[in-house]
Structures are given as structure tokens and as C-alpha cells.
């Protein structure tokens, strides 16, 4: 479903901050590009060349994410920052109201790292779903 209000769900500032770690695909996951994010992760940003090119592609990725995902009470930027820096503790899951899985992440180091990988692949969709339910 397209976001017809064209609200600012994602931030260029956060995109550029994650771009610093872009050779791992962080900014691509943030903007909902899971396939290329995975490719960047396994190829070090396509051997750093794609990573440098992405410096100029971020504004377009930001605009596409703003129209693709639905704004609401759960902020994409806060959730992504929490996942990126505190994911092993499940803080991002607590923020989204997923208390049980937050506790599981807290006790299992992000479900042994696999839960964090799952969240990198699906977090934008999880947030959109939560925002639709609360909207």
C-alpha cells in the first residue's frame, strides 16, 4: 500500500549516518532494500565501489522509502537507531510494544544474532504493520 500522504518516514541524516557502515548494507536495509543490503553485506558494499556511489543515491532512496512506508506512532528512525546500536538487548522490540520478544532478545543476545538479522530484513514492514494497527 502506498503512503498517499507522503510523510517523512525516513531521514536522510539517519541514512547518511548508516551509510558510514554502508559497506555492511546498513543504509540499504534502512531504506527497505533488503536484497541489495544483503549483497552489500557479503561483498563489502560491492567492494566499496557501490558504497561510494550510494553517497549520491541516498536522497532517492529516502524519497522512495517515504512513499512506500506508513507513518504513525512508531518512528522508523528511532526504531532503526535502537536496532542498530542496541539490537542485542531487544530495546527496539520494547519500543514497538513487542515486550515478549524484547525479553527473549534481552536474555538470548538478540536470539543468538539471528533475530537481529531477521529484524534488519523485516523491520520497515514490522513498523508499517504496527502503525496501521494503531492508526
pLDDT digits (tens, 9 = 90+) for 93-124: 999 999 999 999 999 999 999 999 999 999 99
Q: Please tell me the pTM assigned to this model.
A: 0.88
Query: Which of 69, 74, 102 is closest to 87 using CA atoms?
Result: 102
Collect all residues with Cβ–Cβ distance below 8 Å to 9 and sequence separation of at least 6.
Answer: 3, 65, 66, 69, 70, 71, 76
Query: Which of 80, 28, 84 is closest to 53 using CA atoms?
Result: 28
Residue 33 is given by DSSP the state -
pLDDT bin (cut points 50, 70, 90) of residue 5 is low
Q: Could you tell me what percent of the chain has a pLDDT over 90?
A: 88
* Domain range summary for the chain, segments of one domain joined by +: 1-71, 73-135
pLDDT digits (tens, 9 = 90+) for 75-91: 999 999 999 999 999 99
Amino acid at each position: 500500500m502506498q503512503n498517499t500522504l507522503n510523510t517523512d518516514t525516513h531521514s536522510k541524516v539517519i541514512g547518511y549516518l548508516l551509510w558510514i557502515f554502508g559497506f555492511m548494507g546498513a543504509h540499504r536495509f534502512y531504506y527497505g532494500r533488503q536484497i541489495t543490503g544483503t549483497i552489500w553485506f557479503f561483498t563489502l558494499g560491492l567492494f566499496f565501489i557501490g558504497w561510494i556511489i550510494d553517497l549520491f543515491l541516498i536522497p532517492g532512496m529516502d524519497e522512495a522509502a517515504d512513499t512506500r512506508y506508513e507513518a504513525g506512532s512508531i518512528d522508523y528512525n528511532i526504531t532503526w537507531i535502537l536496532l542498530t546500536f542496541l539490537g542485542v538487548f531487544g530495546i527496539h522490540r520494547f519500543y514497538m510494544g513487542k515486550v515478549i520478544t524484547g525479553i527473549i532478545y534481552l536474555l538470548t543476545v538478540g536470539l543468538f544474532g539471528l533475530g537481529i538479522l531477521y529484524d534488519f530484513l523485516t523491520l520497515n514492514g514490522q513498523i508499517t504493520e504496527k502503525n496501521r494497527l494503531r492508526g
